[in-house]
Every structure is written in C-alpha cells, then in structure tokens.
Amino acid sequence: MLRFVVFAVVLLGVCGCANADAAPVAELTSPDGRIRVSVEAGEAGAFYRVDFRGEPLVARSRLGLMFKAVYGFDRNLEIAEVETAERDTTWEQPWGERRTVRDHHREMAVTLRATEGPKRSLIVRFRAFDDGIGFRYELGEQSGIDAVEIIDELTEFALPQDYQSWSIPARGWNRYEYLYDTGPSSDVHSAHTPITFKAPSGAHLSIHEAALVNYAGMSLIQKRPNTFKAHLAPWSDGVLVRTKAPFVTPWRTLQIGDAATDLLNSSLILNLNEPNALGDVSWVEPGKYVGIWWAMHIRDRSWGNDTIHGATTSETIRYMDFAAKYGFKGVLVEGWNIGWDGDWYNNGALFDFTRPYDDFDIAAIAAHGRKVGVRLIGHHETSGDVSNYEAQLEDALDFYATHDVAQIKTGYVADGGRIERIDDHGIRKYEWHDGQFMVDHHLRVVTEAAKRQISINPHEPVKDTGLRRTYPNWIAREGARGSEYDAWGIPPNPPEHTAILPYTRMLSGPMDYTPGIFDLRPNERPPLRADMPRNDPRSRLETTLAKQLALYVVLYSPIQMVADLPENYEARPEAFQFIVDVPTDWEESIAVAGEIGDYVAFARKERGGDDWYLGALTDEDARSLTLDLDFLDGGQNYEAQIYRDGEGAHFDTNPYPLVVETRLVRQGDALTLDLAPGGGTAIRFKAVSVLPAVAGK
C-alpha cells in the first residue's frame, strides 16, 4: 500500500487562528485525528504544542537554534510557508522485533523566516503518526552561512502539569547506567532520553530522538517547573555541534499512547530513520551466544594475564564445544589482548587490538570454531581512549576478519565526560559518551566494520536512536544497567528495573542485557582463590529463576547472551531447555499487558517459524495476570510449554522454585499467570497438529 500526497499551502489565510491578533498557526493532525500539533511564530520566536484526545499533552514549547557567529533562529520569526504531505508505506526489517513495519504519517514542513538581520529561513519538519510525532530542523544552503557552530538548541517540551515520570539522570559519571527514578516530573533535574511520562488523564508520553547522526546527543534539563529543554552534550570546548549547511538535525520524538503498552508497540523511532544504507545484509547474524565473561564479573577468572586468566585457548574451546552442543552461535571472549594487566579502567592507551596474549591462540580457536560451527565473538575494550582505538581501527577489524569474527562487542568504560581524544595539535581532550565526537566515532566503527561484514555491539555506547534501520550491522548495544550489576553493583538491579526498562531504554532499540543467570547467588560461593575474594554478597540476582527465562522474550535483542557459566546451565537442564529453544529474531511482537514499573508481558512469533513465545515479569509484587491468547494464529493448535514460578518462589528468600508444565491451547483461550514477587513466566507455544479434544483425553 503506498499513498503519497503533497500539497503546498501559503499559510496566511488558511491558518486556524483563534482571532485576528493571534500569531499565525500551522496545524497537523495524525492520520487517526487524535494527535494535533500546532506551530506559531512571532516576535517571541517559534513555538509548538501537542494535543492528544482533544487535551493539551505538551503545552506551548519553544523551537529554535542558535549559532556562534551568525544570526540564529531564536526570536523575530514568521511562518513563511507550510507544505504538507501524507504517506502510507510498509517496509521490511532484515531482522527485528517484527518483519513488516507500517509507516503511515502526515507531514508538515514549516518554513520559519527571520524578520530581523539577513532574512534567513529554517524549516521545521513535523511528522504525525497515530503513535506520536517527530520533528527536526533543516537548515538549507543560504548566503552567509557555511560552517556553523551550534551553541544552543532551544527546543522545549513543556508539560501542562505534573506528570508521573520515569527517567535516569544525564551527564553523570556512570553514563546511562543508573537505576530509574520514579516520581513527579517536576522533581526531575536532568534526564537522558527516552524519558517516559504518564499524565493524570492516563495518556502516556515518551520523549526521545531518532537518527542521531552528525550532531550531539540530546538530554533534557528542567528549566522551569515542568518545562524540559534540550540539553546537547557539548564538545570539550563548549560548542554543541559543528556542522555545515545544508544539514538536518536528528528528529525529536514524542511517542504517545493511551496505554503503557501502546508505547511498546510503537515503531515511530524506526520509521523516522533512513532506510538500509548497506544493501545486502544477509551476513548480519542474529542469535544466542555464550562467553568468557560472567566468570570475570563474579571473580572466578580475570581479564588480565595471571594464573586465573579467562581468555585461554583451552577455555575458549570448552565454551565453543558447549555452544555447539546446544546450538548457540558464538563465544564472546574478553581479556584476550594485550592491555588488561593492571588498572585497565584508567589505561586505555595500553590496549593493543592485534596482539593476543600468548595463551590465546586465535588461529587454533578460529579453526576449532569452523570445525564445530561456532564463531568467536570479538571484544574491543577501549577504556574510553578513542584516539588509541581509532589509530588501530582498520588493522583491528582486519585482524578479527581473518579469524572469522563476524561480531564485535566494543566497550567505552570511562566516566561520563572522560572519553579521551587527541586533537589535531596532539593535545589531550575529554569528551562525552553522547557528544558529537562519539556520535561520529560510533558510525565510523559501524561503517568500517560493515566493509568487512562485521556487526557491532557497543557497551558504554551512545544511546540508540534507531540507526539499526540504516546500518543493520549495528546489532545491539548496552546503554543501561545490565546483569553485570547483579554481580558487583551495590545495589544490584532491583525487581522493578526490568519492569521499567521496556518502557524507557528499550523504546530506543535492542539492549545487550546479558540475561539467563541460573546461579542467583554467585557471591555466596567460597572464592576460588584467597586473593580474589567474591564481590559483596548483597550483589545478587533479585529475580526468580523463571524471571531469568522471561527476560529473553521481554528484553528484545537480536543477539542474546546465555550469560551464566556452562556448568550452571547443565545443573538445571529443565529450565535451560527454554533458553535452548527461544529464538532471537521475530516475525511479530506484541506487548499484551503492562504498567510502567509494575509488570509487562510480550508475545512474539518466531521469524520464519510457527511458534509463539511469551515472556511476562513483575516487580517486587506478586501478580496474577489473565491474558487472552488472541495473538496466536487462528485455526492452529499449540502446546504451551510453561515455565513458571513454583510454590513459595520469591526473589529475595526463595528464588529457585520452578514448574515446567504443558497445556494445549489455541486462539480464543486465556491463560492466568501467577507471578511470584520478583518473578516471571516464560512460555513457548509450540505449533502442533494434535486436536485439543483428542489430546485432552
């Protein structure tokens, strides 16, 4: 289905002005008419507002850009022209949470013209979808503007009253790795996006951005009560963005819905990204992987080359054999290259990305991988010394490519604002993880990797803004607190964490959360070596065993780590079967129930298969959810293989009870799930030909 209509309107005369003295207003509504955007301009500058269901959702909020050396667009503006269009298309994801995505929107390009100084103009392009809006600035080529330095983006998001909010602070030392704050919006000082709100009317809103390219990442700062302003991460010299006309900014996005689950079912961010720029990407491989990784975090092994070095040839081969036995595609190995000995957090310059330690025979490992059908997954930890990494980037990628590596996890462990860059004069500078320097850097890595058919999974990344659509080898990223905090974080991730992530961080795209920990109390075991004590026992998994399984369905990623030690899986074969079965690439995904911070349930259908899967999880409260199985394919029978919390299960006191049972179900049936405190349920709906009536006998 393709509908494409464009018409230009000379605004004055057709505006929806309330009275003759009011500023001219340009208006746009979503295809279903429920979202309305209005734009006005005048001496005070340009403003927009958003109404949902006939009520203000975002009040009158400023628009504009300011430049260092030339006139910007802050005040004395008029609407010179408005062009509108409507499009209704569908497109296909090479991998993803759904195969087919519908992009149905109305568009309005508002040309703002300065009424003072040189009469320059700036376009603000709005798109209204049924699930929200996006808008961006577009500066065309015009006389007197060439290279520009942006010193402020004036964009605001003014809430008409206090909303409930879920967010993490911005510009902190720990980047995006904070526990979520829940509370009234007026209490938020600064926030990374996505930041999510619930209005007293029940409407839901999440603010983020799409297609962050050649610009600085946007966080929000509360300027006046409930007025949030764009706060771009600056370069080390204070300039926010260095660019050149013509340019477009990233889209500022507002996902909007009645229910919390509407946010989860939205494709707005992807729809506002450009199509695949890489052509044939059949070499990008979704799938599950294991790794020499958790062993380091629980202090069984070390990254450095000492007596308990994790990244040895024999240990890698052991993991490869384990992966091959259960059908997992890759083995991540960290601590394989020169640079990990000593204080690696502060010594990124020592990392050498083409020199393995002596006990890591990468050629033999690659050969073994070819034999058993498992790949080595590469690891480039930079400790934030990006100049050191960039100097070696091409050689580092070539090196791994010759050893069959098709996916690399990168890492930028450094405090926020402490990314190291050596400038053109050889002077060390410090940058933000979400500043323009890093936005450019990540894209450089992703495009260089694509030339070698390698996919990239950055940890301590810049946030996701949907660029996986344009660069499908940007396969996942971290960018929130993952399981590693359950090994060493004080506090570990509380039960509500994974009931908030879907409605916040996960709206931006896939996360390498690294789920599937089966030994839920790893720090209570005696240390293997006296001089390597375990982490504080307060750090542990605050989930039940069943909830670890549910995470594979709830937290979408095309790559999912099977993160615990092989022996911990083989000790619990019944639970492990779900991880063996669950796919990572989907035909369709539907959030079927949920409330932010309380619970969530996702149903997903296997890509290229007939089976459906369901993951449901709760916060610290026990919960009973009755779910209609409407999502199942009509006329098909399914064996529901249910992995649920057993009698007395509790994340704190009794995390292991697990019941695995089967039932025959079909569309139209309902299932009641009893989730323990901090618990969950995971279900495989296996398509079967048997009739329920027969099977029931």
The per-residue DSSP string of 185-243 comes to GGG--EE-S-EEEE-TTS-EEEEEEE---SSPPEEEEEEETTEEEEEEPPPTTS--EEE
**Window 452 to 511, contacts with Ca ion (CB under 5 A):** 459
**Window 28 to 47, contacts with ligand NOJ (CB under 6 A):** none
**Window 281 to 320, contacts with ligand NOJ (CB under 6 A):** 293
334 binds, among ligand NOJ, Ca ion, none (CB under 5 to 8 A by kind): ligand NOJ
Q: Give the phi and the psi of residue 578 in degrees, each rounded to 5.
A: -65, -40
Selecting among 209, 334, 484, 606, the annotated active-site residue is 484
385 binds, among Ca ion, ligand NOJ, none (CB under 5 to 8 A by kind): none
Q: Which is nearer to ligand NOJ, 176 or 612 (CB)?
A: 176
Q: In terms of Cα–Cα distance, which of 139, 128, 153 is closest to 49? A: 128
381 binds, among Ca ion, ligand NOJ, none (CB under 5 to 8 A by kind): ligand NOJ
Cα torsion at 424, 429, 434, 439 (round to 10°)? 10
Q: Give the phi and the psi of residue 557 in degrees, each rounded to 5.
A: -155, 140
CB of 330 to ligand NOJ, least distance (A): 15
CB of 461 to Ca ion, least distance (A): 9
235 binds, among ligand NOJ, Ca ion, none (CB under 5 to 8 A by kind): none
Residue type, 405: V
74 binds, among Ca ion, ligand NOJ, none (CB under 5 to 8 A by kind): none
Q: Which is nearer to ligand NOJ, 293 or 638 (CB)?
A: 293
**Window 444 to 473, contacts with ligand NOJ (CB under 6 A):** 459
Q: Which is nearer to ligand NOJ, 293 or 556 (CB)?
A: 293
Residues in binding contact with Ca ion, number by CB under 5 A: 1
d(CA 549, CA 576): 8
Which residues lie below 8 Å from residue 537, measured CB to CB, with a gap of 6+? 521, 523, 524
CB of 311 to ligand NOJ, least distance (A): 12
On whether the CB atoms of residues 464 and 476 are closer than 8 A, the answer is: no
* Residues 506, 437, 275: CA angle, nearest 5 degrees: 50
End-to-end CA distance of the chain: 47
CB of 485 to Ca ion, least distance (A): 8
Residue 334 touches ligand NOJ, criterion: CB under 6 A: yes
d(CA 102, CA 553): 22
Q: Which residue's entry shows tokens 């449901």?
A: 616
Q: Residue from 153, 478, 564, 639 that binds ligand NOJ (CB under 6 A)? A: 478
CB of 514 to ligand NOJ, least distance (A): 7
CB of 303 to ligand NOJ, least distance (A): 7
Q: Which is nearer to Ca ion, 459 or 468 (CB)?
A: 459
Residue type, 197: F
Which residues lie below 8 Å from residue 16, measured CB to CB, with a gap of 6+? 25, 27, 38
* Residues 46, 196, 511: CA angle, nearest 5 degrees: 115
Q: In terms of Cα–Cα distance, which of 144, 137, 149, 139 is closest to 118? A: 144
Q: Residue from 484, 587, 606, 645 that binds ligand NOJ (CB under 6 A)? A: 484
Comparing every residue's Cβ against Ca ion, the nearest one is 459
78 binds, among ligand NOJ, Ca ion, none (CB under 5 to 8 A by kind): none
Q: Which is nearer to Ca ion, 345 or 536 (CB)?
A: 345
Cα torsion at 416, 270, 34, 48 (round to 10°)? 50
DSSP code for 348 = G
Q: Which is nearer to ligand NOJ, 27 or 381 (CB)?
A: 381
Q: Which is nearer to ligand NOJ, 313 or 457 (CB)?
A: 457
On whether the CB atoms of residues 327 and 582 are closer than 8 A, the answer is: no
Which residues lie below 8 Å from residue 96, measured CB to CB, with a gap of 6+? 468, 558, 585, 586
Cα torsion at 344, 350, 353, 355 (round to 10°)? -110
Q: Which is nearer to ligand NOJ, 281 or 413 (CB)?
A: 413
The token pair at 338 is 């020169």
d(CA 197, CA 183): 10
CB of 480 to Ca ion, least distance (A): 9
Q: Which is nearer to ligand NOJ, 512 or 606 (CB)?
A: 512
On whether the CB atoms of residues 563 and 516 are closer than 8 A, the answer is: yes
Q: Which is nearer to ligand NOJ, 101 or 308 (CB)?
A: 308
| Interaction mask 145-184, Ca ion, x per CB under 5 A | ----------------------------------------
180 binds, among Ca ion, ligand NOJ, none (CB under 5 to 8 A by kind): none
The token pair at 686 is 């296996």
Q: Is 43 noted as a catalytic residue in this protein?
A: no
CB of 478 to ligand NOJ, least distance (A): 5
Q: Which residue's entry shows tokens 């996960």?
A: 506
CB of 380 to ligand NOJ, least distance (A): 9
Residue 411 touches ligand NOJ, criterion: CB under 6 A: yes
Handedness of CA 69, 74, 79, 85 (dihedral sign): positive
Residue 381 touches ligand NOJ, criterion: CB under 6 A: yes
The token pair at 560 is 């999912």
Q: Residue from 413, 422, 532, 687 that binds ligand NOJ (CB under 6 A)? A: 413
d(CA 624, CA 610): 28
Grouping H, G, I as helix, E, B as strand and the rest as coil, residue 264 is helix
CB of 271 to Ca ion, least distance (A): 29
Tell how strand 680-688 and strand 670-675 pair up: unpaired
Q: Which is nearer to Ca ion, 229 or 481 (CB)?
A: 481
CB of 432 to Ca ion, least distance (A): 16
Q: In terms of Cα–Cα distance, which of 407, 335, 411 is closest to 375? A: 407
156 binds, among ligand NOJ, Ca ion, none (CB under 5 to 8 A by kind): none
Residues annotated as catalytic are 484
Q: What is the contact surface with Ca ion in residues (CB under 5 A)?
A: 459
Q: What is the contact surface with ligand NOJ in residues (CB under 6 A)?
A: 293, 334, 381, 411, 413, 459, 478, 484
